Structure formats: C-alpha cells, structure tokens
Structure 1
C-alpha cells in the first residue's frame, strides 16, 4: 500500500473537493456542539433511511410501516427480509454509538458480520470457508495467491500502517480500504452491507461523522448506477495491482460532499430562521396563549413556508420555550412558562418603541 499511495496524483479539482470536505467537517463539529436537539431529529431520520437504503441495494424490501417499526421500536422481525433489516439496524446502531472507538480489526469485522445476521437462520461472523475460493491480492503492489482471511489480515495491517504513518489523506485511505474489502469479498454473503458499515466506521476514525445525521446509504442508493459503475471501473486490474482508483474516489467524494451539503442545508436553516422571516414566526408564536397548530402560524405569516415554520418551532423547542401537545396531523404546540416572560418583554419593547 505505501508504494501504491506514493504514486497517486490528484488534479486541482480533486484537491479542491478534499479541502471543501475538510471545511465541512469543521462545521459539522460546530453544529454538533451548538444544536444537539436538532441533530437528534436528524439522527433518527438517518437511521431509518440508512437501514432502508442499504437493504434495498441488496434487493431486500420491507413495507414502510414495518420498516419504521423495526428500526425505531425494535419490533420482532417476522420474515427473512425483516431479519436482515433488523440485523443492519443493530450493526448500524453499534457503529453510530462507538464507531470512532472500534478498531479496524478482524475481531470487530467478524463481530459486525455476526450482528448483521444475528436474526437469520444462517448466522454470520465467519470468513468464507470453501477450499477453492482463493484470490490474488496486492499487499505491496506485487500480486500473490492467498485466501480471504489472509487477505483481510494483510488489508488490516496495511490500513494501520498507513494510518499510523500518515501516508495518505484519510479521505483517500478510507475509500481505498472499502474497495479492497469488496475485491477480497471475504464473506459468503453480506459483503455489500458490510462495506457500507465499514465506510461509516472508518470515516468516524477521522471525525467525518456526517453519516450519523445524513444517510450515506440513501445517497448511494439514489445514484446506484454510478455507485456500481465506479466500483466496477476501479476494481479492474485490482488483482495485479494495476487498478485505477480515480473513478471510485471521485464518486465517493462526490457522495460525501452531497451529504455534507444536505447536512448544512438542513441544520443551517436554523441559523437562517433567525433572520427576518424567522423573527416574524417567532413573534407570532410568542403571541399565542392557547395551544396552536402549524397551520395557524402559516396563516398568520403569509409568504413564509411550512418548512421555515417547522425550523423555528424546533429551535424554540430546543430553547425550552414551547412543547408539542400531541403527534401527527392533529398535533398542537403550546408555550412553556419561560416563554411568557419573553412575550411580555417583546410587547413592552414594541410599545416603548412607539412612544
């Protein structure tokens, strides 16, 4: 791997993308510190979307009402498809909970695979065991014959060396490892879902945690043709160390960039919600002494979208000023005691300004 990494060259556009991703990582950390309530909502949505999309990429489909129940309520899986969904839910939960602390090791990889298939009749957690499944793998640029477990041992050792010696930018190292994993194909089943789980885990190692809030799996599924085309193009020649990593790197970086852009759009709306339109919504909410609905605020603030109203509601909820009184379409909101003081102050300031 050191020799292969040393030969890699990137053009100005690729370097600009890497810089942009580094900047987004810094913003992500800032948002995580400042807007924890908003991010909790995003985490829940991402968990459902990631579980659904990763399984759909494998042809596993579960009805929407069952999917949400399985992911969020830990419902008991009732079919093979639901068993696979529940397994991905559990493995993904472990990644999100402790991915940055989990080592990239044979033990952790086998553990994840075991969790992935913990509900199915055929359990996971073991490498391919067939005697005739051998591959050529390029640990140092020179091909040789080895088994999947040996290849994985080599891959893990090369990753640790590259990480410890800072031989490449993390955003080069992570997709390289994912491609190597898929080319080694160490499991009889589940290599695709495992590659997506390992993607998140390795990104966590370098504080690229956008996958916790925006589903990377959903982005992969939305561009599935390019996802598979990039993997296919970059795997050509892998067995003799002549593969071109560029198609996969460009796709991977583009998907990650889209995730960060979407993350900033969703969370940044809170900041935009503090502008003129947001203040109009906020003032209208503070006037309400009785429970109110989103529609009522919309009607009182013409020209302001429902999305903006929701943004302000979430922000004010995070500030402890309002709380929902129900769920679904009939849900209403009401002020908490600390909001009443703000409303009185706002009215006094308004009156003082007129004098």
Structure 2
C-alpha cells in the first residue's frame, strides 16, 4: 500500500516556481484580509456570485449541467430541483454552504469526509451516500475513437478504510509540523485522496470541497469570493494532465507531487488575481459608471452575465449595464456568448 508521508515538504528541496507561487499567494491573501475588513459590502456581493459559479463549475467538470438561470434558482433556493442532475447540483450547494459557514467547527477526519459526501449526494438518492465504495473502481478515459482505457487504478475497496485513516493521520502529523507550509500540504493531501478514490461516485466533487475546507483551515478564504472550482473547470485539461503526471508510480511511492502542486497553486493564484481585479473595479470610485462596467468585463477572466455585473456594481442601473455591453460588442472589445437569459460576455482577447 502507498505510504502517506509528507515529510519531503520539510526538506526545503522544492522547485523555485512552487516557492514563488506560494509567496505571491500569501501576499495576495494578506492584502485581501485587509481589504475585507473595510469593504464588507463589496465582499458580500462577490460572495453571492462566487457561490453560484462554484456550484456550476464543480458540477460541470463532471458533466452535470443545466441552464445558468436554473443554476441560480437552485443555488438561491428559489426553486426545488426537478431532475437527477438538479438534485446533484442542489446537493453540492448544501455541502458548499456547510463548509463556508461551519468550517471553524469542523475538523479534517474520516467522519467529516463521509459527512460531506452524504450531504452532497443525499438528495440525489445515492445508495452509498456517506459510505466508502464496496467494490473496486477504475479511473477511465475514452479516446477519440470511443475506446476506453484505464487511466489509473485506485486503492481497492478492501483497503480503502485503512488508506483513508492513514491519509488523515499523515495530514495531522504534517499540519502540526511548524516547518511545513500548510499551503503546500493541501494539494498533496488532495492528490492522495483522489488516488484512493474512496467513493463509488462523487470523488472529484468531494476533492474540491475538501480543497476549500483545507484552505479555510489554513487561513485562505479566497474560494468564498472567487470560484476555485470554476478556475479548474476553465483549465480542466491542464488539471487532468497534472493529476495524471503526479499519480504515476503512486502505488509504489515513486510519484512526484510537484506537477499537481503547481497546478493547484496556479489555480489559487488565478483566484487571487481575479479577486484583485474585481475589487479594484468595484472600488474604483473615481471611474465613471460606464467605465466601471467596461472594466468589470475586461478584467474578468471568466464570462460574466448582465445580472452578475449588476450584482458586482449595485449602484449602476441595469439599463446602463446593457447599453455599455451593447457598445462593447459592437466595437469588438468583448464577445457575446449564449442567448437570451444565458447570455454572457467575455474579453475578446480570451477567445481564441
């Protein structure tokens, strides 16, 4: 069985890119903490948007989708889920809300992980909701010809309980080591969780919820204001490449965590950059309202809807937002995606 040991994080032999990313993220986090104290209303609006994008993004990675309008209705509790996919979406909403609101009272443990899985899957009627897998599973992929191949063989069902126990104990041991940077520890734990693949279904979504939880416990709350899940969804090909690269040789303890660590930290860095841009836009009191609308769209790496812009800029009328968006589409500075209520706008430079 794989030996869970994070002592390599205490050896100081980390790639310079990872060390630099960690330092930059730490600096961004300190700036955000300072801003948040004196700009609570702005952060409250950003939180509302991120909540919807997190639920949408994490489920979209797994192919669980519905319209943007339905996502918002379900996340806001304005409508009950109507089918299996929407029950999956509502379940993720419930688990996400619990982590956002109760992380201070929760501890990383097997019971906590099982509880998060149960909360996430209960509405969808999973037979093994909140329980480890009872049969061995495989991580497969399908090539362009429709042929399946095994991408990774996780821990067997018989060994899952012991593996999860060792994972939690190894995390606790490393967490209590003052020489180990907690931010570097998180992606290592998440990679090991994904290699165990303890559940018959929902492992990817649980891994993202655990990422947010462990970030909270380590003092990083950016995922509350900019969707970490959506960043992964936007670059999921790179995410899966990093995951595969770092899982090679995992069973025999010959794998390297560095590619997955770098990808994880890069996604987190993008979240802080996005938060910085959104804050600067919303807080740009010297700019005209039309300029603030323009900057909101141009500074966002993700497509944004008219409604989301109105949420970010509550003092700007919807008619003004609509007029500015129309002008920007005509000049070609932004691209219009989707139709009717699903319409979103994105900086043209992000469209290849």
- TM-score class, shorter: 0.7 to 0.9
User: Which of these residues, 99, 108, 112, is aligned with residue 108 of structure 1?
Assistant: 112
The answer to whether the 8 A contact 1:38-1:314 is kept is no
TM-score by length of 2: 0.75
Unaligned runs of 5+ in 1: 138-143, 282-296, 299-303, 318-322, 332-355
The answer to whether the 8 A contact 2:195-2:247 is kept is yes
Match of 2:130 in 1: 125
Output one character per residue of 1:271-313: Cα deviation in whole Å (capped at 9) or x when no partner. Answer: 4x244xx3xx4xxxxxxxxxxxxxxx64xxxxx4534699xx9
How far, CA to CA, are the matches of 2:56 and 2:113 in structure 1?
21
How far, CA to CA, are the matches of 1:76 and 1:315 in structure 2?
26
Give the direction of change, closer, same or farther, for the CA distance of 1:151–1:51 in structure 2 (3 Å limit): same
How far, CA to CA, are the matches of 1:128 and 1:21 in structure 2?
36
Once the two structures are TM-superposed, the CA of residue 14 in structure 1 deviates from its matched residue by: 2.4
How far, CA to CA, are the matches of 1:263 and 1:100 in structure 2?
23
Unaligned runs of 5+ in 2: 139-152, 298-309, 322-352
TM-score by length of 1: 0.75
Match of 1:162 in 2: 174
Determine whether 1:13 maps to 2:17.
Answer: yes
Q: Which has the higher contact order (CA 8 A, sep 6+)?
A: 2
User: Which of these residues, 67, 89, 92, is aligned with residue 88 of structure 1?
Assistant: 92
Determine whether 1:306 maps to 2:311.
Answer: no
Match of 1:26 in 2: 30
How far, CA to CA, are the matches of 1:46 and 1:103 in structure 2?
24
How far, CA to CA, are the matches of 1:8 and 1:146 in structure 2?
36
Match of 1:238 in 2: 250
Number of residue pairs matched by the alignment: 293
Aligned alpha-carbon RMSD (Å): 3.1
Output one character per residue of 1:80-113: Cα deviation in whole Å (capped at 9) or x when no partner. Answer: 1001000000000111112243100111111110
The answer to whether the 8 A contact 1:100-1:207 is kept is no
How far, CA to CA, are the matches of 2:295 and 2:237 in structure 1?
34
Determine whether 1:210 maps to 2:222.
Answer: yes
Give the direction of change, closer, same or farther, for the CA distance of 1:241–1:308 in structure 2 (3 Å limit): closer
Structure index of larger Rg: 1
Q: Secondary structure at the match of 1:257?
A: helix
